[in-house]
Structure 1
Amino acid sequence: MKSPFKKGWNDMKQVIVVDDNELSVEGICKNIDWSRFGAKVCATCTNANDVLDVIGAVEADLIISDICMPQMSGLEMARVILKNKPHMKIIFISAYDDFKYAKEAIRLGICDYVEKPVDYAYLSEVIDKVLQQSQEEKRLLEQLQQSRPALLQKCFNDLINSSPDYAEFQLVDQAKYVDLDLSAEEYLCAVIRIDNSIEIKSTFGIERYHVLMMSLMNDLDHTLSRDHICYCSNQGSHIIVILGNRQQQLHYIRMIYEQLSRFNKKHETSPLSMTIGIGDIVSSIWSISVSYQQAKHALEYKFIFGEGHIFSIRDIKSNHPSPIFFTDGSEEALVRLISQKDIAGMKQFTDDLAVQWAQHYYDKNGIAAYIYSLLARLTRYLYDTGIDHLQIRNMITDIFADFDQFQTSEQICSRLYDIFVESCQILQQSVETHHHQIAERVIHYIEHHYMNIDLSLNDISSSVNVSPSYLGAVFKKAKGQNISDLITTVRINKAQELLSHTNLKMMEISEKIGYSNQYYFSACFKKKMGVTPTEYRLNVMNTKL
């Protein structure tokens, strides 16, 4: 292994060349005009282990490596490097027989590969493309780092507005990226409402208002972060506070209540007047939306007791037996059952409602409030999914019109079950129609853009305005095949036409159907058709004779 350049070369793009054949290494080093790319070969290695040592000492931009090497293959080396340096760019040099390894490399996220014997002109083009991509990613990474506060704010908003199940499975990586502390034994949410925000903005101006809010939040963080994991978020006229209890302790809510009371008293002379609502404890940060909703509900009691007070949901629950606010997750459970088309689950859900109402001694007015909350959530869910069905609206209207005529809770539950089943069936019809329409738009887009070398799932998903992961699942379900398979099929079908009716060279055909590398095109064609493009053209010519 030749020693890497020292830090004086950091203004240049750093390249490491790896091959157990020293002649191959020398060929790459000497036959590429590195100055053209503003790059230097900072190290050459003959085995993967040496590369791992070099990577620790050099901030390399690109590794050019053989795939098949003794001791540790290029693929194994790439896995190790990408685990710690996910933005590292790697170009593999592979023999034609190593094509299956090249495909695995592509799945790993390797930038590109070049077949042996090396075409140095082509390799130069690949290096140029990859280094430009590396520079662009560095620029985007810098932008991402600069937007970190906005990402933290988005994560915060997603947490308080997501169901516990969604948050736990969808927001983990996002929370880790912005360094949210997930180690607390328990969490709760408090909401501070600035009661006179409109008046302050009108009197002092928006800039002064925000300065006052920032000062208030800094003091709040200073007050609470000594004893708790503390995150504060400015939501205009509200400050939302997520608090984590580092060590399980009794009377945690009472402790927070007292601290916020002292904080509120301290700021009595501030231009900003506050009312504070405190939610209940939840076992993990993924359930913080439950505590957040409780804190917002607690705030509503200012209309009864006046502004400037602190209201805890526990105090409200212990003194108010009616089901004005539900914390058992019934609304989200219902939406989940309908979205999953779980008819048996919906029957069990409605049967359980009657038992629950009996256990909590709900009167008829209490049951009406409960049902109103459930159906309002159902209506919002259907609206969010683009469904505004007259029959469902009429069924919901009828259940309240007939409410006084119901004699038992079982009768009410039976009517609810009919609404839920009808909603499920309408939703399924709508989803299937929508999925079919999306799939047809994907096919149309691919048939008109297959020749684009850079055609990707992101391009296709943008054209139909859905996320790539969702689009892949929808298309697979609607058409029974993956989008990537369809792209290959369309391209190979077009290649057959060009091979049969034109004298174009293989490289020209490859480019016309969206492949930048004719060897990769040949491999894909053979995998699909069982013969190489050349053999296919000869067979067509012989058939015509």
Structure 2
Amino acid sequence: MYKLLIADDDEWIREGMRRSIPWEEGGIRVVGAAKDGQEAWDLIQQAKPDILLSDIRMPFMDGLQLAGLVKAHGLDTKVVFLTGYDDFSYAKQAIGLQAFDYILKYEDNAKVLKAVRQACDKLEEERAVVEKDRKGHGLMVNKFYSDLISGAGNEATVERDSKLLDISFCGSLFGAAAIRMDGVERFLKPNKSEDLELLLFSIKNVCTEVLALQVNGECQAQVVHYNHRINLLFNLGLTDAERFRVEAKRISLAVLSAIEQFLKIKVQIGIGSPGEGIKHIPFSYEEALIASQMKGMANEQGIIFYEQVKHSNNSHQAILKKVTDYIAAHFHNENLDLKEVAETVHITPSYVSTLFKKYNDINFSEYVIRVRMDKAMELLVHTDLKAYEIAESIGYPNTQYFSALFKKYTGLTPMEYRQQHRK
């Protein structure tokens, strides 16, 4: 329903229009009727009507002055003037004040309703354009911060884009946080990616409202939808790392509490280390992701700093177990690669590769081959499957490639291996 305010010093006209015109049939609700311009202005500030249907000549403040106030205060209220036969000399002024239309006071009800309804249609059209622009700007801002987190771009492009988007930083100390959700299955239907996006949208809205109340001149925080999750990017005007931890924890606790209160979702927030300059942001985010995955290491409030886990072999082994469990469940997929596996634990492929080399003394691709070959050896000994069937079942649709790889790995062809190891 669009809100309409009627202003006219003639009570008969004012009340007649309010009561006799079927406004609701046009999706319009009358929110007030004023007897002069000053009363109308007071009602406009209170009720914020979409449409003002106003007489031009009124005491205390006439319709033109009233329209001037509407325009000066940046309101998008559409103004439709009511005129008498001798008021057309005001038409040029009305147009200058961006009045939508003007009609004779004594037109029949259908024409008055039509004029107001057309004003509603125009307002809806203009608001749609504004909303599209707002969303477009929001997407560009989110892309800007996403690029900072991913490490895309350089200082020159960041400086250029921040000016274009009217973004400024309060200092040179940056750090990131990652939010991990628990128990959200009840919100999601199988194969319904839009359910997850809707949930993330809700979390982002809650975070945005919280940050509006929590940030100050010395500490900025931005909500960033990136990597299929909601993240926080902190920027401090001070270079004190301890102060960063205090502020990051304060804001994160407020975010965590609001999410759990309004969305009934348990979350854990991992916070990366602070560092100088935008180049540090990707490293801090990587740390935040790792920290967010560490179940059982967060404090009772659900906050965990990377510094608490960076020297912990247990934390690295937990990540590796998730990776190896995923490989064990998906080795039959011929397109299984490092990028896909890394996405399941929300850390970069390079970090997964680093952990493999550090703890397994083998790289990722070699590990996948080993898992597949071990499975092939098992199937050769314990089943009667043909070589091509085994090859396909472990992710190698090309039988010749599988046979060559198997011989390189075991020193035997698949058939030789079966003959030697069957009792």
Normalised TM-score (structure 1) = 0.32
Between Structure 1 and Structure 2, which shows a larger proportion of helix residues? 1
Normalised TM-score (structure 2) = 0.39
